[in-house]
């Protein structure tokens, strides 16, 4: 099938590439000519494991192409997936200007029956607004559907190719049948295609992300209570997670969640509820807990050094909001580094993939290193903010030799406190007693 994908950001690029990989002919559209030119040459603007190889293979086999010409892409396609950004506005609401503008452009360019499938994360009622735009169009019949994405950065290819479920929000039997056919190659098992009203599909995406964010904030608050009463959060977490009604996913304590989805989607759902006179108290608490959690390690650093942080040097391992990505949007590292700099400290940092992102954000205010050990030289302490695999089993003797003081603030609970005690480190983690 001929498919257009509007937007070559994270969702659009992964979606378009995976649709092409299953045999469709896909044209990906973006207004950024530099990005399009790079993609035409197989250069990927984001880090996502496996994506570059798939893009290059489908370019070679001419199943995927990239353009700035939206009209041409839509004109040769039956389905246009809209995957443009919906950033959070100043009031917490999702900015829909990109989605609405793209929809109007598709309406002008459609040639015959067409489907607009909204993959962008949008608040409830967006599908209705786009359908109103289509109703004013003098062009051919266009069905508007919602097909939300459920991709995790770092495993997006696997998530798309083997989804837990596909959600289709549609009121059109014709559009539903076509969208089912497009997605059916990815559902060879018993995992379902769930067809529902577009409003339900829109809320399903927000509800899923909000629930996961709530679990993270809950376990972080439990970790704080564990420290206060002398309990061990890993024991509590395992005891909870063994209950099949609860499960163990997203119950790992740390320095808070970040990224492009959870913070934005929690705020957008709060805003949508407030617009209908519903006080989403539990989500406001989730957001507040997360904001406090990001500052926890800074408070411990300050306490450990007796409030004397100015002119001290700190090494940071991990800048991305999670491993296997270079994404620093809303990352805890942003808060920690800004707080340390505000207090007059010096920061040297390493991340396996996010060095370029950090350089764009901080410029010369921090020192960035290509290896994790280089960041340690002369630092007063090590702070760990992202659980990259290469940080899990380091050379502790080398760490100890490079640091001024054998002190580790571990925001991801990577190490065994008993080992840290045996190696004579001062060790602070989350939800466990300090060593």
**CB burial of residue 250 (10 Å; 0-12, 13-18, 19+):** middle
Residue (of 108, 118, 109, 180) closest to 143 by Cα position: 118
Q: Which two tokens stand for residue 128?
A: 């209705």
Distance CA 278, CA 427 (A): 44
Contact indicator for 431, 319 with CB cutoff of 8 Å: no
Q: Is 18 tagged catalytic? A: no
Radius of gyration of the CA atoms of the chain, in A: 24
Cα 149 from chain centre: 12
- 363 HSE (CA, 13 A, CB side): 2
What are the beta bridge partners of residue 314? Answer: 347, 381
* Contact status, residue 420 vs residue 406, Cβ threshold 8 Å: no
Backbone angles phi, psi at 189, to 5 degrees: -95, -160
Ramachandran assignment for 277, one of left (phi > 0), alpha (psi -120 to 50 degrees), beta (any other): left
Residues designated catalytic: 261
């Amino acid at each position: 099938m001929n498919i257009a994908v509007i937007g070559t950001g994270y969702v659009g690029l992964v979606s378009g590439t995976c649709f092409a990989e299953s045999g469709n002919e896909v044209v990906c559209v973006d207004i950024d000519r530099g990005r399009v030119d790079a993609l035409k040459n197989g250069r990927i603007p984001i880090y996502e494991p496996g994506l570059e190889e798939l893009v290059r293979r489908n370019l070679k086999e001419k199943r995927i192409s990239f353009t700035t010409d939206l009209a041409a892409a839509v004109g040769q396609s039956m389905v246009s997936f809209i995957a443009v950004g919906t950033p959070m506005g100043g009031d917490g609401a999702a900015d829909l200007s990109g989605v609405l503008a793209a929809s109007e452009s598709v309406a002008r360019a459609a040639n015959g029956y067409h489907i607009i499938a909204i993959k962008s994360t949008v608040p409830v009622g967006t599908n209705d607004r786009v359908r109103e735009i289509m109703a004013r169009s003098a062009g051919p019949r266009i069905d508007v559907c919602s097909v939300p994405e459920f991709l995790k950065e770092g495993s997006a290819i696997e998530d798309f190719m083997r989804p837990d479920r596909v959600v289709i929000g549609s009121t059109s039997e014709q559009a539903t049948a076509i969208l089912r056919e497009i997605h059916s190659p990815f559902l060879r098992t018993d995992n379902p295609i769930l067809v529902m009203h577009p409003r339900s599909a829109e809320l399903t995406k927000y509800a899923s992300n909000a629930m996961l964010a709530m679990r993270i904030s809950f376990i972080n608050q439990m970790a704080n209570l564990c420290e206060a009463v002398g309990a061990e959060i890993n024991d509590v977490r395992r005891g909870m997670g063994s209950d099949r009604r609860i499960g163990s996913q997203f119950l790992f304590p740390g320095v808070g969640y970040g990224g492009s989805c959870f913070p934005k989607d929690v705020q957008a759902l709060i805003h949508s509820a407030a617009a209908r006179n519903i006080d989403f108290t539990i989500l406001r608490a989730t957001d507040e807990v997360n904001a406090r959690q990001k500052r926890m390690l800074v408070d411990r650093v300050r306490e450990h050094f007796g409030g004397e942080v100015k002119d001290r040097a700190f090494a940071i391992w991990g800048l991305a909001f999670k491993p296997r990505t270079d994404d620093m949007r809303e990352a805890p590292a942003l808060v920690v580094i800004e707080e340390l700099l505000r207090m007059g400290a010096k920061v040297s940092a390493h991340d396996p993939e996010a060095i370029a992102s950090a350089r764009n954000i901080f410029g010369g205010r921090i020192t960035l290193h290509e290896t994790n050990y280089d960041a340690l030289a002369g630092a007063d302490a090590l702070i760990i903010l992202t659980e990259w695999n290469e940080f899990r089993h380091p050379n502790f003797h080398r760490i100890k030799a490079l640091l001024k003081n054998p002190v580790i603030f571990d925001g991801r609970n990577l190490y065994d406190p008993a080992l840290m005690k045996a190696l004579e480190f001062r060790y602070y983690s989350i939800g466990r007693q300090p060593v």
